[in-house]
Amino acid sequence: MSHLHSIDKYGGRWTNEEREKFFVFCQLNRAIPYPKLCDVFDALMEKYWRDNIYRSFIISVYPARNEERIAEILKKIGYRFPNQTAKFMVANGWVDAIFLKSCTREEMVQSCKGFGYKLASLFLRNTREKNFAVIDTHIKWFLKEVGIDIRLSYLELEEAFGRIACAQKMSMYALDMQIWEQRRKK
């Protein structure tokens, strides 16, 4: 899908650096339109990844100062929730390539600050081709349209979405992308 950011790829071979960058991408993915998410991520990578933002000042003896610095950077590049996301990024500074390569969804939800099933599913679906749904606004609209009660738990919604995808002989990823593309055109 050419409309996706290059870091937002599905499957294939991921380097440790790509996984770490995608982890940052996922941390930024909170109540923000996709084009804005991509712009913020690109600005962050262009201006600060060279300085090793992920390691040099996230992991440090002065986490409060690091939160302020990250929040300041996020504000400068127009991010909507800079303070909360900065806290999450500092709290997740311990996450390394080994964890990102081997963790389960439950481990990610339990261990990574600010990660629920949606972000953990996004990360694992894309980097390891796990058959998880990313229950976001467009999927909830779709489920509601087909008569599913969207007040169900995340895992129940994912199960319902999986049944629909299976009935259509599609992966959850393929159905997700089809719905997302349809919603973008509206």
pLDDT (average), residues 3-11 = 89
pLDDT (average), residues 124-128 = 94
Taking alpha carbons only, the member of 106, 70, 74, 73 closest to residue 91 is 70
Taking only the tens place, the pLDDT of each residue in 64-122 is: 667 888 888 889 888 989 999 989 988 888 888 899 999 999 999 999 999 999 999 99
Count of Cβ atoms closer than 10 Å to residue 182 Cβ = 11
Domains of the chain plus CATH, in order, are: 16-128 (1.10.340.30), 137-185 (no CATH)
Instruction: Evaluate if residue 131 carries a pLDDT over 50.
Output: yes
Dist. CA 123–CA 99, nearest whole Å: 12
Please tell me the predicted confidence (pLDDT) of residue 106: 97
Please tell me the predicted confidence (pLDDT) of residue 60: 53
Note the pTM of the prediction, 2 decimals: 0.88
Please tell me the predicted confidence (pLDDT) of residue 161: 97
Q: How far is CA 46 from CA 26, 40, 42, 146, in A?
A: 17, 10, 6, 42
